[in-house]
A and B are shown apart, each in its own frame.
Chain A
Amino acid sequence: MAWGWGIYEGMVVIGSLVLLGWAGLWFLNRRLYKEYEEKRALVQIIFSVVFAFSCNLLQLVLFEIIPVLSREARLINWKVDLFCLILLLVFMLPYYHCYLMLCNSGVRKERAGLGAIIFLLAFLYAFWRMGVHFPMPSPDKGFFTMPQLVSRIGVVGVTVMAVLSGFGAVNLPYSYLSLFIREIDESEIKALERQLMQSIETCVAKKKKIILSQMEMERIQGSDENLKGRSFFKRIVGTVVRSVQDDQKEQDIKILDAEVQALEDLSKQLFLEIYELRQAKEAAAYSRTWKGHMQNLLGYAGSVYCVYKMIKSLQSVVFKEAGSVDPVTMSITILLQFFDIGIDAALLSQYISLLFIGILITISVRGFLTNLMKFFFAVSRVGSGSSSNVVLFLSEIMGMYFLSSILLIRKSLRTEYRLIITDVLGGDIQFDFYHRWFDAIFVASAFLSLILLSAHYTSRQADKHPID
């Protein structure tokens, strides 16, 4: 009986891992790689494995609330998952990333392997030293034990989370609110398009002129050979006249070349402007539909929430509060105060916890993946850098992000669900520190994005109404 149960549990675990891995692969190849295709299967596999392990951690949190597997199975699952994830993040990924970079720049394989090992050792040392500045478990508890590594990973991950949340909290109302959407006239776009076509046609005409001049020069040089029979004096005079004309023609060609280059740059600029105007026009049209109005309302709600969150974070950073009552219990106690319904509070709290945590996890995963896409496209627009490097870097960030979200999500769980996280990660980790660190970085990031976005908005307004 225990055997069958064990096999069943093992299959559930492995099945969910495989499913998550496939989802990660699908996301990578269908969403991220719209333009490029990754040739190395190993990079794709690494990304999907990190994705699978990270999402499995979040899945395990859900399994805590609705007990799907037995307690021992969950504990083993936690431990194995954490172990594999940390192994990947701290040891394997930096090594492989450096190895790939060295291989791409043409270094031989053995030397690349050696260089990558040296880089890995340096990385581990820097990783260890970083812990000096933050409250970490003391070194007599061992060097590379799980709590040590998790606490350091947590710092990086929490920083990334806070920066993204800060920016997202400000950006969401900015992009959703209809206040900031500007109206574009179709005639504006048409005028720019006409200008673009004109500059391209002029460019083409100039290129034709260059070709004709070059052909002319070649013809003249060709006919030079036919002049061997003429008199000495005529030949000298001929060469003087021809070299003057040649110089003149070369000058003309050079000037035309420069003009062509300038026209091509101009047409690039015009095209980018047309693209931006079309984007703005689409956004304006969308804001007039009912979906757009909903988005507007969401924007207002988002801005209220953002302000509230900023104040709360500032408060927690300045006053060093350590609130340990999770929001679910708080909301249930408030509810029960007002409505005496008589429903079993424990059952209710379990379902509400599930819903709340589920929504939190979904939003966080989806938000992270969207940001990943935006970052990837922004980097690819610059054009430089191979996509493998970006994907490996993003896998590292993703692993650290999801691991730290476990650290932070612990606060939103009820006390009985928190136990396993505290057990698995090691009781030495100062969880409160991470919350304060998150709040501090969140406030800083939100302020910075506020400044950035307002500068962006005012510069666009100035463009639209140029000061004569």
Chain B
Amino acid sequence: MFRREREREFKEFNGGPPCGQVRVLVVGDSGVGKTSLVHLIVKGFSTACPPQTIGCTVGVKHTKYGSPGSSSSSLKGDAERDFFIELWDVSGHERYKDCRSLFYSQINGVIFVHDLSQRRTKTSLQQWASEIATTGTFSAPLSSGGPGGLPVPYIVIGNKADIAAKEGTRGSSGNLVDVARQWVEKQGLLPPSEELPLTESFPGSGSLIAAAKEARYDKEGLMKFFLDQETVFFR
């Protein structure tokens, strides 16, 4: 009697289709909050003061694809598939620059993170994009290249909105040299630094942009973004 129950459970557990996997890089300058972001996505609550990331830590989130309400249904066959989203949180430190390239393998997408209270972190995202585009390998790359030649979808997340709001002026910092530089740029004496272009190019990402404008964490929108990208991969 017990044996039969156990056997049934065993079959149910192992009889399902194998789980797919999606590998997403989380990159950005040191201290912008990548580890906290990954922790928030994976566990659902935030952690205070995580230690500095050395090398790379991976957070895994399980999700089901094909749930009702999904925007596209071009996946043939089964109604629901399990997916594991691997979030590769790479150390953003300047000195590990040459050692990081081994983590950029078989990437499906990239999350760029910057700190809203430190403007410098946003302008360095362009360099991050070119670094990944030149040294990384991608699975299922898109034909059209993004910024710096990045052939996979990406989203840009601005972190620490509460601190930036407290400071008053959004996008500036207490760094006096940067303040001076911004003033000079405003007068037109220096060309403005390049930033990553932001477009609503992926279907269904409108809710994310709205959430970004209101500075709130839209978990459903984020999950939908990941799942919508999978239609691209399995077309």
Partner of B174 from the list A25, A38, A275 (CB cut-off 8 Å) is A38
Q: How far is the CA of A271 from the CA of B95 in the complex (A)?
A: 12
Whose C-beta in chain A lies nearest to the C-beta of B173? A37
Give the contact stretch, choosing among B47-55, B197-205, B227-235.
Answer: B47-55
Instruction: Name the prevailing secondary structure of the B interface residues.
Output: mixed
Looking at B13, B29, B55, B94, the one whose CB has the most chain A CB atoms below 10 A away is B55
Q: How far is the CA of A45 from the CA of B167 in the complex (A)?
A: 19
Does any Cβ of B come within 8 Å of A254's Cβ?
no
Partner of A204 from the list B5, B58, B176 (CB cut-off 8 Å) is B58
Given A41-B176, A44-B176, A275-B99: A200 and B58 interface contact (C-beta under 8 Å):
yes
Whose C-beta in chain A lies nearest to the C-beta of B102? A193
Give the contact stretch, choosing among A67-75, A150-158, A207-215.
Answer: A207-215
Pairwise interchain contact A241-B96, C-beta atoms closer than 8 A: no
Interface string of B55-69 (1 = CB under 8 A from A): 111111010000000
How far is the CB of B235 from the nearest CB of chain A, in Å?
25
Give the contact stretch, choosing among A28-36, A98-106, A287-295.
Answer: A28-36
How far is the CB of B7 from the nearest CB of chain A, in Å?
13
Pairwise interchain contact B177-A268, C-beta atoms closer than 8 A: no
How far is the CB of A387 from the nearest CB of chain B, in Å?
11
Instruction: Name the prevailing secondary structure of the A interface residues.
Output: helix
Interface string of B14-47 (1 = CB under 8 A from A): 0000010000000001110000000000000000
Known interface pairs A37-B178, A208-B84, A275-B95; 17 further A-B residue pairs with C-beta atoms within 8 A, sorted by A's residue number: A25-B177, A29-B175, A35-B29, A37-B173, A37-B175, A39-B174, A44-B175, A193-B102, A197-B105, A211-B84, A215-B62, A237-B2, A271-B54, A274-B99, A275-B96, A278-B98, A383-B52
Residues of A at under 8 Å CB distance from B? 25-26, 29-30, 33-41, 44-45, 193, 196-197, 200, 203-204, 207-208, 211-212, 215-216, 220, 237-238, 241, 245, 264, 267-268, 270-272, 274-275, 278, 383
26 A-B contacts (beta carbon < 8 Å): A29-B176, A35-B29, A35-B94, A37-B118, A37-B174, A38-B174, A39-B173, A41-B176, A44-B174, A196-B102, A197-B102, A208-B19, A211-B84, A212-B13, A215-B62, A238-B5, A245-B6, A267-B55, A270-B55, A271-B54, A274-B99, A275-B95, A275-B96, A278-B99, A383-B51, A383-B52
Residues of B at under 8 Å CB distance from A? 1-2, 5-6, 9, 13, 19, 29-31, 51-52, 54-60, 62, 84, 86, 93-96, 98-99, 102, 105, 118, 120, 167, 173-178
